[in-house]
Chain A
Amino acid sequence: MIKRSFKLFLILLFSGALANARPISYSGGTTIMQKNGPVKNSLHIHYSPSFKYSIGYKSDYFRKDQIALNGIQLNYLVNRVNKKGSQRNVYLKSSLGNANQSGKNELYGFAGLAADFETRKYFISYENAYYKSKEIISNFEQNIRLGVAPYVANYGHLHSWLMVELKYNAENENNKMIITPLIRLFKGPYLGEIGVSSDKKLLFNYFMRF
């Protein structure tokens, strides 16, 4: 049982991918973003030549329809506003690659927009993503996150956030809106998130920057 749980933990840790953390690192930085959400698992590894854009590998696996996407993703920082005590960002994201379902392969494209506003105490973000291929996938999803830090930690200490994620997908007839309360913890270059969605699925995200 313990062995099986540990195996499951490792699978969760290294199989999926992340979305809501920032898609661009500092100049010369590499990031691994992993998300295991209520709908899909994904993995995004990117390199940022400058703080304005990043390029990398993105893999998504939609569990219900067993669709696997593997592509090259480009993220671009459209706008950033820095103020004393706050920051807001707007990003454009796109990728191109191979979509696979039941042995069938075809080209897919992805486009998305992400925006966030953050202070040391509050966080809000919006993200959308549109996936399209000839036959395998046509999917539009939207994500909103609201967060509050129960305490404000200084540099080098453990930071904690209580968040709620609202995921809306009009094409999912049984469950258009999924709500996931989660806890985000981060320290230095490591970030982890864990939560349980309204449809009783585990959310586990992991993020590492180096």
Chain B
Amino acid sequence: MRQFIYITVLLFLSLKSFADNNKIDIDVDGLVCEFCAVTIEKGLVKKTEVQEVIVDLEAGKIFITFTDGNNLTDEEITDIVVNNGYNVAKINRNLNE
């Protein structure tokens, strides 16, 4: 019985960790207006790996949810942001840890 509980807990934690890897947020420099955000959002949603993009202008952050099992590397994300005219200050992964 105890073994079953351990396995269940481990399974739950590993699933949670997998789900956490599906979400990241980015601190973006220069993110001051609606147009700036639209620009980056359009660049990100073109990627098939990206499921959802949420912009928080107040915090200067962009939240990305990836499709199941997919992700983008820091370099790929930085390329998208920079190629749309903005700067990445920080990429935060494992948001819920």
Q: Give me the interface of A with B, judged by CB distance under 8 Å.
A: 22, 25-29, 50-52, 77, 80-87, 118-120, 152-156, 159, 186-189, 209
Contact = CB atoms under 8 A, between A and B. Distances in A.
Interface stretch (B8-16, B17-25, B38-46, B64-72): B38-46
Given A26-B84, A77-B85, A186 B30 contact: no
B5 interface: no
A87 B32 contact: yes
Interface residues of B, number: 25
Interface of B: 27-30, 32-39, 42-43, 55-58, 60, 83-87, 89
Given A26-B42, A154-B56, A209 B35 contact: yes
A22 B30 CA distance: 14
B42 A29 contact: yes
Contacts of A82: 28-30, 85-87
A85 B60 contact: yes
Contacts of B28: 82
24 contacts: A26-B38, A27-B83, A27-B84, A51-B39, A77-B85, A80-B30, A82-B30, A83-B30, A84-B29, A84-B89, A85-B32, A86-B30, A118-B32, A120-B32, A120-B33, A120-B57, A152-B58, A154-B58, A155-B37, A155-B56, A186-B34, A188-B38, A189-B35, A189-B38
Nearest to A86: B32
A77 B55 CA distance: 25
A22 B60 contact: no
A119 B42 CA distance: 22
A10 B53 CA distance: 36
Contacts of A119: 32
